[in-house]
Amino acid sequence: MDEKEKQRRERLLRQILRLMQAPVNDAVKLAYLQEEETERIDGLDLTALKEFKRSANGVVELKFIDRLEVARQLLERLPGESRLDPAESFFQLTKEG
C-alpha cells in the first residue's frame, strides 16, 4: 500500500471513529429550536443525525446513525495485519484519535 492510499485509509478510519463517538444532544436541541433561533444551527454538532422530520402538527422525528454498523465497518477496514486481533486494533485507533 503506497503512502497516499495509507493516508486515505487513515482519514476514512478517523471519520468512522468520529461517527461512532458523535454526541446526540445537539440533535435534540435542534428539535426544540424556535424559528427565531435558527442562527444557532451552525453551532450544533449534528454528526450523529441521520434524519430530521418535523410534521405540520409539530411532531419531531429524529433518526440517528447505527453505531453498531459503524463499528462493524470500522473493524472491516482495519489494516490486514491487525485483523488477528480487531479489538486491540480498534482500541489502539481510539487512543490515537
Looking at residue 60, what is its pLDDT? 92
Q: Which grid coordinates belong to 26?
A: 445537539
Per-residue pLDDT tens, the chain, 97 aa: give them. 688 888 887 888 888 888 888 899 999 999 888 888 888 999 999 999 999 999 999 899 999 999 888 888 777 776 654 444 656 666 666 666 5
**What is residue 26's predicted lDDT score, i.e. its pLDDT?**
93
Other beta carbons less than 10 A from residue 9's beta carbon = 14
Residues in contact with 79: Cβ distance below 8 Å, sequence separation at least 6, in sequence order: 9, 89
Which grid cell sits at 94? 481510539
pTM, two decimals, is 0.63
Long-range (24+ apart) CB contacts under 8 A made by 2-11 are 9/77, 9/79
DSSP states of 42-69: GGS--TTEEEEEE-TTS-EEEEE--HHH
User: CA–CA separation, 23 vs 16, rounded Å?
Assistant: 14
The pLDDT value recorded for residue 6 is 81
